[in-house]
Structure 1
Amino acid sequence: MTEHPAFYERISEDRFSPTEHTRGPWDAGSQHAGPPAALLGRAVEERPGARPGMRLARVTYEIVRPVPIRPLEVTTAVLRSGRGVEIVEAALTPEGGTPVMYARALRVRTLTEPGPAVSEGPRVAAPGETPETPFLDVPWDVGYHTSMDSRFTEGTFRERGPGTCWMRMRMPLVAGEAIRPLDRVLVAADSGNGISNVLDFERHVFVNADLTVHLHRHPAGEWVCVEARTSVDPAGIGLADARLHDEKGPIGRSAQSLFVAPR
């Protein structure tokens, strides 16, 4: 293990070893989906031959099965390359296994000269001096819950209902490599269902099988805010919908389809 904490250690150009900091709250052997989402997003942006002057505008993840805490291979393929947009697919596969997570990203060509800017809506209260918010009770000492700085300005992890939470990575995504703006968004965006949980964590499972993130701009600064709301149907299907912010204002939206069931 590296001397300095990180979510992953790079084994080779396209292979990564997850650390205990990726561990999610549901199972000791599985990752929270935030770190692998960021790893796939980085692969889309860093793949060999990536076109300059393009920026990720939307990415949709299909979480086929829990992502295990064992070495993973990342692969990418360009599905469409047009003048103004391109579609790139990425997959995450454990050694000796089948893909556990897919990402399909839309990248859009940016303007060479600044165009018009239109505000999406009001800013949320900045993290400021807000104290760190305790996470849900998790039966292991180290994991995603200890690797993110979380500060609520509305709700808490332990309250039911809507929540607004500022999140900041305590460590790099990949050991020895700089944190990128996209890392910050994608590591945090998958937390919407936990931030706005509407069910008793000890009596219900409410895990997401997908995640879609739309960005009209990349974040500035270290903090990303997830302003989330969750709705659940009696049939056991839910939706966690969130507005995403940085300290300058709105940056986009995220949505998660939820599988809801009694424990």
Structure 2
Amino acid sequence: MCASRRRKVRPGMLHLGRFSPVRWSCEMDGLPEFFFEADGAVAGRFHPTALTRGPWDNRAQHGGPPCALLARALAAFENPEVEEPLREPADILPPVYHPRRQHPVARIAFSLLRPVPIAPLDVRVEAERLGRAVHRLQATLATSDGKVLIRADALRIRRAPSVEGMVAIAAWRPPEQCTPLVFDFFRHEVGYHRGVQLKTAFGHWGRTPIGVWGRLRAPLVAGASLTALETMVALADAQSGMGVPLDPHRFTFVNPDLSVFLTRDPVPGWVGFDITSTASPHGSGLAQSGLRDAKGLVGRAAQTLVVADRQPG
């Protein structure tokens, strides 16, 4: 049964403590069908579902979905799509035509300023400079009363024809041959961990290095196609959970930032993370990973970590 019915609130809503009610969508198994739903009346406003819930506080979102929401807006802002052939790894003919942006995202640096409540959120994007070759953009995610929660700075670089460098990387087993990886340290049954699918390509959870394939089980926004960029960013914020620096049952390692660098557009499908995480005795840590897709290396991601003892409850 859907949580909204159990809690006896008005249809389609779920109350979480002092935060505003959020919209909830039920499938037959009781899980939301998407991470966010666009507000039909207020432009740039989105309503999260419980799939956004994080592991450290049941009232707060995991950083991945809201960062992906900003990445989605940054990619689309004054950046029309063009239909271009998307080659498969084996260069199968005929090519699949896929919409691509004229200036794809090359880097996004997220500053996670405050915990993101499971409540209505407003996304705003501004252009610092839209040059011919490079676009510099800024975006914010804020509460409905204007409190900024995440700030993002992005670079978009003009697509050049047939200029794609080749970097040799070790081949991984395909996802269908890999072992499932499940986050078991979330405090609530329904959360971000139920909205992602992870497979271990090499290594063992609990130490790094480790290689993990991942994808989202639901669209980021209701009624919209899921893009590879959204998948990459939504999962990049979980790299410290895929490749933990410490036991997450004993410690928290919240990241106040996330930086994602891309040398090209990732292709749709599974995305991979080659993760190394470390923690110092002084309460700080670092998680970083090489990013890949079915075509090979695509970029890097990094997080600064704030390490603390995990409080009970």
- TM-score by length of structure 2 reads 0.79
CA contact (8 A) 1:75 1:92 kept: yes
CA contact (8 A) 1:156 1:195 kept: no
Question: For each residue in 1:106-155, what CA deviation from the matched residue of structure 2 results, as whole angstroms up to 9, or x when unmatched?
Answer: 000111x3125322533333212324222123221111101101111224
Question: For each residue in 1:217-245, what CA deviation from the matched residue of structure 2 results, as whole angstroms up to 9, or x when unmatched?
Answer: 22223211111101222221111010111
Q: Distance in 1 between matches of 2:190 and 2:241?
A: 18
Q: Relative contact order: is structure 1 or structure 2 higher (C-alpha 8 Å, sep ≥ 6)?
A: 1
126-135 or 59-68, which moves further after superposition? 126-135
Q: Which position in structure 1 is the counterpart of 2:191?
A: 143
Residue 201 (structure 2) pairs with residue 153 (structure 1)? yes
Q: Which position in structure 2 is the counterpart of 1:53?
A: 102
Shift of 1:255: 0.3
Q: Distance in 1 between matches of 2:114 and 2:229?
A: 24
Shift of 1:3: 5.0
Q: Which position in structure 1 is the counterpart of 2:144?
A: 95
Q: Which position in structure 1 is the counterpart of 2:222?
A: 175
Q: Which position in structure 2 is the counterpart of 1:6?
A: 34
Q: Which amino acid aligns with 2:188?
A: W
**Aligned length in residues:** 260
Query: Unpaired runs of 5+ in structure 1?
Result: none
1:208 is matched with which residue: 255, 274, 283? 255
Q: Distance in 1 between matches of 2:25 and 2:49?
A: 9
Residue 111 (structure 2) pairs with residue 81 (structure 1)? no
Query: Unpaired runs of 5+ in structure 2?
Result: 1-23, 28-32, 81-100
Q: Which amino acid aligns with 1:139?
A: R
Higher-Rg structure is 2
- TM-score by length of structure 1 reads 0.93
Q: Distance in 1 between matches of 2:55 and 2:65?
A: 13
Residue 242 (structure 2) pairs with residue 195 (structure 1)? yes
Shift of 1:184: 1.2
Residue 86 (structure 2) pairs with residue 43 (structure 1)? no
Q: Distance in 2 between matches of 1:126 and 1:142?
A: 28
Q: Which position in structure 1 is the counterpart of 2:178?
A: 130
CA contact (8 A) 1:77 1:90 kept: yes
Which 4+ runs in 1 deviate beyond 4 A?
none
Q: Which position in structure 1 is the counterpart of 2:169?
A: 121
Q: Which amino acid aligns with 2:55?
A: P
Q: Distance in 1 between matches of 2:226 and 2:46?
A: 16
Kindly report the root-mean-square deviation, in angstroms, between the aligned alpha carbons of the 2 structures: 1.6
CA contact (8 A) 1:40 1:91 kept: yes
Percentage identity across aligned positions? 37
Where do 1:222-241 residues align within 5 Å?
222-241=269-288
DSSP 3-state at the match of 1:100: strand
Q: Distance in 2 between matches of 1:116 and 1:167?
A: 24
